Every structure is written in structure tokens, then in C-alpha cells.
């Protein structure tokens, strides 16, 4: 796939290419899944909020103690700001994140009987929860393919693969939902994140070793 061919590509052909990309990546990463350790929707919601500007590895180091100390929404609602901040300090932006977690606990207790809601509208109305976090929770905790998570890897790879020209994550998502089959929306993000971490890295993509090279207009080989 050359850049000029990608520019002339019809929507139908792009959909077919997207499916091929999906198949190849699914074969390459059969265990692709959410990297944030969690046992419940609340734990995933908290871990996703903590993962902003932080690695999943660091979040997974912090959450075992955090989840033991704050087992439910009530616990976050009544948490001491100082103690909570101290527990999540290493994830960065800890004051804002602690404020979000306490507000989240309060909102869940007040409006949702302490449970995490299952709709996009209710989720994005919670403190500290944007569309990306809501998509993570809906897709991975509830198995609902409501949208596509667009993080830095998904955005970068989708542009390199000429599936979008957009930079804004919401617009990238809009382009992707037109191309990726709905039943694979959650998986798509996991696959692109794995591929972005291992092969299609930000600075030096390893195109010579990439299973998508023949489908990618950005391939440098
Ligand atoms: S061919 Fe290169 S730019 Fe394209 S997806 Fe693979 S590593 Fe990324």
C-alpha cells in the first residue's frame, strides 16, 4: 500500500484493509487484553483514572494496596484527601486524581447506589471520567462495545495506517467506528496498543518486522 494509493482508497476498500489489519494483529497478539489489573467495574474505573499520564505498570503497582484500603464507592466518598493522595502519589497528578476519586465515590453513592453505571451518558457525567475512560470500562468491565478507546498508541497507529487523518481523539474514534466491525471495537484498541508498544513505536517504528507492512502506507522498507 503506497501513500498515493491510500489517498485514493475507497471507503469499501479501506474497510476491507481494516479487517485484514484486525485479522493479522489478532493472530499476532492472541492474548491482547486490558493491561490494568482489576476485579470489578469500580476497580477498573479507578485504575483507568489513575492511568492518565502514567504507565499501566505503575498503576498496577499502586492498586493492590489502594483497592484493599478502599473496597467500595463509600470508602472513596469518605476518604481522607491526605491519605488518598499519599497512596496514589507515584502515579503523578495525584492531587487532581485524588479529588476525582473522592468525587467519583460521592457521585456513585448519591446517584447510583454505589454501583458503576453501564451507560456512556452516566459514566461521562462522573467526576474525572471522560469518553476514553468510559469506553475502557464499558468494553472491558461490562463487555459493551459502545465506542473505541483512542489513546496515544491507537491515534498514532490509526494515522500511520491512514485510517484517519484526524488528531483529536474524538474525531479519530468517529473515523474508526466507521471502519472497524462493532463486535471488535474493544479488541481493536488492545491490539493497536500492543502493536504500538512492541513494533510501531513512536520514534522508531520497526517496519521491517511488522506484520502490517504490506497494508501500511507509512511502511519504511
Ligand atoms: S509498517 Fe511501520 S508504520 Fe506501518 S504499522 Fe508497521 S511499524 Fe507502523
pLDDT at 79: 98
Q: Tell me what the mean pLDDT of segment 149-163 comes to.
A: 97
Rounded distance, CA 182 to CA 57, Å?
29
Query: 105 pLDDT band (50/70/90 cuts)?
Result: very high
pLDDT at 16: 97
pLDDT at 7: 82
Is the per-residue pLDDT at 143 higher than 90? yes
Nearest residue by C-alpha to atom 2 in ligand 1: 207
Q: Could you identify the atom of ligand 1 that is nearest to the CA of residue 160?
A: 3
The 3-class SS string of the chain reads CCHHHHHHCCHHHHHHHHHHHHHHHHHHCCCCCCCCCCCCHHHHHHHHHHCCCCCHHHHHHHHHHHHHHCCCHHHHHCCCHHHHHHHHHHHCCHHHHHHHHHHHHHHHHHHHCCCCCCCHHHHHCCCCCCHHHHHHHHHHHCCCCCCCCCCHHHHHHHHHCCCCCCCCHHHHHHHHHHHCCHHHHHHHHHHHHHHHHHCCCCCCCCHHHCCCHHHCCCCCC
Q: Is the CB of 115 under 6 A from ligand 1?
A: no
> How far, in Å, is the centroid of ligand 1 from the Cα of 53?
24
Query: 140 pLDDT band (50/70/90 cuts)?
Result: very high
> How far, in Å, is the centroid of ligand 1 from the Cα of 18?
14
> How far, in Å, is the centroid of ligand 1 from the Cα of 13?
19
Q: Which residues are catalytic?
A: 132, 151
Statement: the pTM of the whole predicted model exceeds 0.85: yes
Is the per-residue pLDDT at 1 higher than 80? no
pLDDT at 103: 98
Mutate which of 154, 159, 161, 193 for ligand 1? The one with the most ligand atoms within 8 Å of its CB, which is 161
Q: Is the CB of 109 under 6 A from ligand 1?
A: no
Higher pLDDT, 1 or 196: 196
Rounded distance, CA 172 to CA 164, Å?
6
Amino acid at each position: 500500500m503506497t501513500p498515493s494509493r491510500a489517498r485514493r482508497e475507497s471507503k469499501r476498500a479501506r474497510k476491507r484493509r481494516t479487517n485484514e489489519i484486525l485479522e493479522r494483529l489478532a493472530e499476532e497478539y492472541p492474548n491482547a487484553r486490558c493491561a490494568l489489573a482489576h476485579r470489578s467495574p469500580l476497580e477498573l474505573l479507578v485504575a483507568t483514572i489513575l492511568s492518565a499520564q502514567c504507565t499501566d505498570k505503575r498503576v498496577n503497582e499502586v492498586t493492590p494496596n489502594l483497592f484493599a484500603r478502599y473496597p467500595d464507592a463509600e470508602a472513596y466518598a469518605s476518604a481522607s484527601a491526605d491519605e488518598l493522595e499519599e497512596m496514589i502519589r507515584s502515579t503523578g497528578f495525584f492531587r487532581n486524581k485524588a479529588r476525582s476519586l473522592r468525587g467519583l465515590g460521592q457521585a456513585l453513592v448519591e446517584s447510583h447506589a454505589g454501583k458503576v453505571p453501564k451507560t456512556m451518558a452516566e459514566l461521562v457525567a462522573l467526576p474525572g471520567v471522560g469518553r476514553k475512560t468510559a469506553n475502557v470500562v464499558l468494553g472491558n468491565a461490562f463487555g459493551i462495545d459502545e465506542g473505541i478507546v483512542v489513546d496515544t498508541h491507537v491515534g498514532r497507529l490509526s494515522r500511520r495506517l491512514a485510517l484517519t487523518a484526524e488528531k483529536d481523539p474524538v474525531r479519530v474514534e468517529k473515523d474508526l467506528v466507521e471502519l472497524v466491525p462493532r463486535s471488535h471495537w474493544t479488541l481493536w484498541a488492545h491490539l493497536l496498543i500492543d502493536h504500538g508498544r512492541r513494533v510501531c513505536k513512536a520514534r522508531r517504528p520497526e517496519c521491517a518486522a511488522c506484520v502490517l507492512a504490506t497494508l501500511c502506507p507509512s511502511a519504511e522498507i
